[in-house]
A and B are shown apart, each in its own frame.
Chain A
């Protein structure tokens, strides 16, 4: 069964430094996708970045990059030059692959609470 594991319940980082949030996944599908979402205290889910299993390059979106290591089944999020507004809960999620019927349903990890300190 597909599973997402985020082992860091909470992280601290100094403003302007980089931080890596860990995510490992388990799937037997060859085709799948990995997402990162940000959830501020207000509750909405903000899409950050997406990596497809066949993408050869690591995904990047502004200050966000996804360190995709397929053999290790990891998809860590790297935030460069942290800002105070980055303080939030971060969720890693996986899209089920075609062997599951291409439902596009997402499976979420338990999240990492990031606190950026001035």
Chain B
């Protein structure tokens, strides 16, 4: 089982601020993912990565960006937060030759 960490767990921030949501995993998993989930709704993939220097946009269009400079780290950045970005953001990873996605605890973002 993977150890996946997300910080912060909760964030309340004003419109226009730049924010970075952190995601780290300690198991050396090559594939990592970011999902967005509105309250009581399904998860939608917004970004994924197959490895270092590999990032792709997911099925749901997002104004956020990601980077993968190190295997264990997959941060998500919003250059200018807006109330429409209020949501929960979940990070996940998958080991090589496996299908199971292990999730972090999530970051609940509120933009006022």
Provide the residues of chain A in CB contact with B33, threshold 8 Å.
Answer: 105-106
Interface size of A as a range: 20 to 34
Does A104 contact B102, Cβ atoms closer than 8 Å?
Answer: no
Provide the residues of chain B in CB contact with A95, threshold 8 Å.
Answer: 99
Provide the residues of chain B in CB contact with A35, threshold 8 Å.
Answer: 100-101
SS class, residues of chain A in contact with chain B = strand
Q: Is B43 an interface residue (CB 8 A)?
A: yes
Number of residues from B at the complex interface, CB < 8 A: 24
Q: Mark B65-94, 1 if CB is under 8 A from A, else 0.
A: 000000000000000000000001010101
Nearest CB of chain A from residue B110's CB, rounded to whole Å? 13
Does A105 contact B58, Cβ atoms closer than 8 Å?
Answer: yes
Pairs across A and B, CB under 8 Å, 19 listed:
A33-B99, A35-B101, A44-B104, A44-B105, A44-B106, A45-B43, A45-B90, A46-B103, A50-B99, A93-B43, A95-B99, A104-B101, A105-B45, A106-B33, A106-B45, A108-B43, A109-B42, A111-B42, A113-B40
Which residues of B come within 8 Å of A, CB atoms? 31, 33, 40-45, 48, 58-59, 88, 90, 92, 94, 99-106, 108
Nearest first, the 4 closest Cβ-Cβ pairs linking A and B are A45-B103, A108-B42, A108-B43, A43-B106
